[in-house]
Structure 1
Amino acid sequence: MSERVPSLDALSEALQRLPGVGPKSARRMVFHLLERDREGGRVLARALDRALEEVRHCRRCNNLTDTELCPICASSRRDQSFLCVVESPSDIPAVEQAASFNGTYYVLMGRLSPLDGIGPEDLPFDGLDRRIAEGVTEVVVATNATVEGEATAHYIYDRLEPQGVRVTRLAHGVPLGGELEFVDGSTIDRALTRRYSLEED
């Protein structure tokens, strides 16, 4: 039985916290950094430490930012009356690939999932209500095309429709069961252009 090196094991286990990284991939990363790119490892460590210290959630939309308002919320060029609701900050770059969208965002930080015990009280819908009160006239719901994403979309429609807000949904250019962050920009662009009213469902 080979002797273990605790510091190598600890680094490998830490890397396995990343999505899609298993023990073998983590071990390859560890050996690459320590054998071939120690300076790269130091750059990575400093950048990660800085991000952990400085990055927080935008007070208006929950996007990740290092300022009080994210650059999208702070921009005077964005259409403040057009709001896109997504599940995660990682979905925003995917929608931004679509040149047809020039509105702002609201990040739910999750989705409704009764099986996992996640109900409306567990997501920041009160913040969404505040955004609507700021003059939003249309909300395009860009939750993922999963059972939970669809349930979340219909909850948002039921919540906002009485307030006189137009609530639309991405058209089916996004594959059923697909995760938004992995969909290409042209597909999202078509889905935005062909968005439909949730009332039609």
Structure 2
Amino acid sequence: TPLLYIYITDEDSGENGRVGCTINDTRLNLIYLTTNAYSLQTSNSSSFDYESEQSVVVYLQCSDFGIPSLSTSILFNLLIEDCNDNPPDIIFPLPFNQSLLIPYETTKTPFILTQFIIQDRDHSQPNIFSYTYIVSPTLDISLINNGTLILCSMPTFTGQFTINVTVYDIGNLTNRISIPIHIYSMNETMLIRSFSIEKTSLLL
């Protein structure tokens, strides 16, 4: 991407008047256009991040091809504009290592599963986010734009469910998280415990 054009004048003629230039930042390239004229371009725009630096100091040195070679130099600043180059960060919930346990008999719906807290490191971007989700197996849930994930009604069967949520910032960059949920029956748990006690014998 061209940033600016550099033109150098030298009152000498021949090789004494031909000038070559170098810069100090490897993220920038000097592209030769014609005699003593260059285009300053970025080699990779993603190398510049407004959140880590707001300007870049460029050291430009120009030397002629005479013998002995004469040179001059200049320092100038390039200002970096903020753009949407960082995906949204999911601050909460944290990645789930274990399933979120929900008892079938005692949980009243609608039930709030979690509340998303999202942050965008791009300072110029408004903190406006949208969400999509895929749940397997099917589960009656809703995810409203303020980041509240709600279980609207209980399923007809208990078991493991996985909710895959994608968060979008206003520039359509995304982040994802998977939320495992285990909806279990307390009656089944009590039966298992009762069975375990009945089958336990005391050895003397």
Q: What is the TM-score with the length of structure 2 in the denominator?
A: 0.20
| Structure index of larger Rg | 2
Structure with the bigger percentage of helix = 1
